[in-house]
Amino acid sequence: MIPERSLRRLEELKRSVAFFEEKRRHAEEEIVRAKVEIELLMRDDYRQAPIPSAPARSHYGSAAPPSVPRSMAARLMISALEEAGPAGLSGGELNAVVIKGGLTKDAAEKAKARMKEAKYVVHDGKRWYSLSGAPPAITGLTENQGS
């Protein structure tokens, strides 16, 4: 039988290990986020120029929306959609991009809704496209319907 004192020390050590493992997990998540942001900033196609078909009015008020969305989830999605080109990505694929970037599925869903509302992206009901990569039939259809 293990002495009482040793049992208490064992429990204390287990709590310490659990604490440090959690701390390490959070640190690893922050490292991933930072690396993703570095990658986005270093990419040749990451630019601060305005998105061509962005509307003059959006949920940002009377001013035009920022040239590049501020949220990390939105930037990850736009980058992935530009890479995908006319093939676009499904909602699940966009979620996976954001999760791989160290964010949550909830962040991905919120970013999709906001980007669609601000017309940073095109959604045909099944697939998502960047403004520069959407097939002409999709962009024409969207402009005629107004959303």
When pLDDT is averaged across residues 138-144 and rounded to a whole number, the result is: 53
Residue 7 belongs to domain spanning: 1-44
Give the count of domains, the chain. 2
Q: Domain for residue 130, yes or no?
A: yes
Q: Are strands 121-123 and 89-90 parallel, antiparallel or unpaired?
A: unpaired
104 Cβ neighbours under 8 A, 6+ residues apart: 98
Q: Where are the alpha helices (DSSP H) in the chain?
A: 4-42, 72-84, 91-100, 105-117, 136-145
Q: Domain for residue 49, yes or no?
A: no
Q: Which residue has the higher pLDDT, 69 or 12?
A: 12
The 10s digit of each residue's pLDDT in 107-121 is: 899 989 988 888 888
The 10s digit of each residue's pLDDT in 64-110 is: 444 656 788 888 888 888 888 888 999 999 999 999 888 889 989 99
pTM for this prediction: 0.52
107: domain CATH number is 1.10.10
